[in-house]
Structure 1
Amino acid sequence: MEMQTGGQYFQCLAMHTNNRLKANWVKIITAIILIATLFILPSFSPSQLENRILYHVVSPQENELVFFWKDESGENYKDFQRLKQALNNKGKLLKFAMNGGMYQTDLSPQGLYVENGKVLSPLNNRQKGYGNFYMQPNGIFYITNNLEAHVTSSDGFTNENVKYATQSGPMLVINGTMHHRFIKGSENLNIRNGVGILPNGDVLFAISKDKINFYDFATFFMEKGCENALYLDGFVSKVYSPENQREDIGGTFGVIIAEIE
């Protein structure tokens, strides 16, 4: 066995000490990064998220949920006030309304739109394109003829027994899992509205009160128990909800989803 000289011994000791110091510094730096992450990437408790979002629940079995695009003369309703007046003229009351999906410059739906069982705009199967609509998977919110509400990805949709349907994107929650493209702490902030299905089959409509990222918006639906939820639109989004003391005016929409009586 080869014997170490005194110089070699101290050299080995110095190297060992240096390696231990490096290892300790790595642990310290890692801890600092983890602690900083907690502050840099904000996470909101359920109560905090709920305070940032206005929401409305509708039972499609017990309440009348209707999709609107054009009136009898072929004119777009465009906004809640015109829809409210048209309903009043028929002795109907507008209880709640929200813009219901993305649309083209001529206010036509960007994807599938079904009204009273008639396909007025075809399914958009295009996989790539500009904007959130094409962040795959996108999806469809629809109501069947027996008044059951569903949200599903577009590739899993079959147009059978459908009374109303609107296509938008991206999906926020797919079978209980958040969309894979969403990033916690993302600075992609905007007003956002969406729709999800609660465990009992009721419909959950939501719109952020201030700018919010996709991750936090999707988290809200997941915390409410939605297995599937769909993004409807962004900065153009508005809501008519007297029960929440909010009746947005203005706006120019394609599809409007409304609860009436």
Structure 2
Amino acid sequence: MKKYLLLIAPFGLTLTACEQQPEGEPVVRTELGEPVASSEPVEELVPTQAANPASACQPVTFEGVSLTHCIADPELHRISTGLAPASGENFGTIEAWAAGRNEGDIAFVMNGGMYDDALRPIGYYVQDRDRLAELNRADGDGNFFLKPNGVFFGTGGRWQLIETDTFLRTIGTRPEFGTQSGPMLVINGNLHPEIQDDGPSKALRNGVGVASDGKAHFVISNAPLSFGQLARFFRDELEVPNALFLDGNISSLWDPATGRMDSRRVGPLLVVEKVPGAEQ
């Protein structure tokens, strides 16, 4: 089992309102191009062992930053959405959501979008074909509203990621799962026009992209990085045509194969489960 060393990295920061955060949770929330902002130290997770072949998630380093790269394969996995409990012990965490579940069925779980004070999605959200939040095309401040934003969605083993306006125009059938977030990191092979190559805003961040072979690539940083670095990893290393920013500083991962269970407060979740009988 991979062990993780928890390092506390202090940063001098200013709080912004770009991503929603429950009351009482002073977690970093930054906007593109702004200096890093937080009233709390940033936790840095550093893998201390080599890759685990039993896991769908593997450690990588890009431009000197430690990342974890998880792959969902349509032949091996199914993706669904979930919501972290808004009350009870450890409320708002993946750990609380996972209580009582068979971890042998789970490949990995990652936070999957931005949320309000009640831990509810602020954008389009579908769970088991039930639309719990409508498409959000409003203007506003913060990362979610930096247009274009996008929707990650799918049914069965077919997963897609497209801009919000394109989703509205072209998708007529409700998918089994869906989550809206923003901004888009990569759009048709190009970086989002507002993303700097390496802006001053650095934080723990995560995102998702869908490759031409249908696999979904989930990436979470183990140390602060810029939007530009995360976007370039998706474009240049993973070569996905479209990638979506999911959230920052609350970015969390549960990987049962390595024992990693991040404890930050989250809202929507993307759950990657193993297909019964498929050779993992």
Specify if TM > 0.5. Answer: yes
Alignment match of 1:165 (pick from 178, 202, 208): 178
Aligned counterparts of 1:80 and 1:101: Cα–Cα separation in 2: 13
**Structure 2: runs of 5 or more not aligned:** 1-59, 275-280
Q: Is 2:106–2:256's contact at 8 Å kept on the other side of the alignment?
A: no
Asked if 1:106 is matched to 2:118, the reply is yes
Of the two, which has the highest radius of gyration? 1
Distance 1:107 1:212, change over 3 A: same
Are 1:139 and 1:168, in contact at CA under 8 Å, matched by a contact in 2?
yes
From 119, 141, 144, the counterpart of 2:131: 119
1:149 alignment partner, one of 147, 159, 166: 159
Answer with 51-60 or 160-169: which moved more.
51-60
- Contact 1:143/1:163 (8 A) holds in 2: yes
SS of the equivalent of 2:231 reads helix
Aligned residues of 2:84 and 2:266 also touching (Cα < 8 A)? no
Question: What's 2:93 paired with?
Answer: 79
Offset of 1:60 from its aligned partner? 3.1
What is the 5 A alignment of 1:99-248?
99-126=111-138, 128-144=139-155, 146-157=156-167, 158-223=171-236, 224-243=238-257, 246-248=260-262
Deviation at 1:209, TM superposition (A): 1.3
SS at 1:219's partner residue?
Answer: helix
Identity of aligned residues (%): 32
What is the deviation of 1:225?
1.1
The question of whether the paired residues in 2 share the 8 Å contact of 1:84 and 1:93 is answered with no
Change (3 A) 1:69 1:183: same
Aligned-partner Cα distance in 2 for 1:188–1:64: 34
Task: Please tell me whether the aligned partners of residues 69 and 76 of structure 1 are also in contact (alpha carbons under 8 angstroms).
Answer: no
CA distance in 2, matches of 1:130, 1:142: 24
Structure 2 counterpart of 1:189, one-letter code = K
Question: What amino acid does structure 2 have at the position aligned with 1:129?
Answer: G
Alpha-carbon offset, residue 122 of structure 1 = 0.6
Tell me the number of residue pairs that the alignment of Structure 1 and Structure 2 aligns. Answer: 210
Shift of 1:77: 6.7
1:240 shift after superposition? 1.1
Partner of 2:13: none
Partners of 2:79 and 2:239 lie apart in 1 by: 21
CA 1:174–1:109: 2 relative to 1, 3 Å? same
Instruction: Tell me the TM-score normalised to structure 1 length.
Output: 0.73
Give the whole-Å Cα distance in 1 for the aligned partners of 2:250 and 2:203: 10
TM-score by length of 2: 0.69
Shifted more, 238-247 versus 50-59: the winner is: 238-247
**Are residues 199 and 76 of structure 1, via their aligned partners in 2, closer, same or farther at CA, if it must alter by over 3 Å?**
farther
Q: 1:76 to 1:170 in 2, by over 3 A?
A: farther
**1:255 correspondence with 2:268:** yes
Greater than 6 Å deviation, 4+ residue runs: none
Cα distance in 1 for partners of 2:144, 2:191 equals 16
The answer on whether the counterparts of 1:190 and 1:211 sit within 8 Å (CA) in structure 2 is yes
Find the aligned partners of 1:141 and 1:76 in 2 and give their Cα distance: 27
Q: Which has the higher strand share?
A: 2
Equivalent-residue separation in structure 2 for 1:178 and 1:243 (angstroms)? 33
- Structure 1 residue 199, shift from structure 2 partner: 2.2
Tell me, in whole angstroms, the C-alpha distance in 2 between the residues paired with 1:236 and 1:58: 21
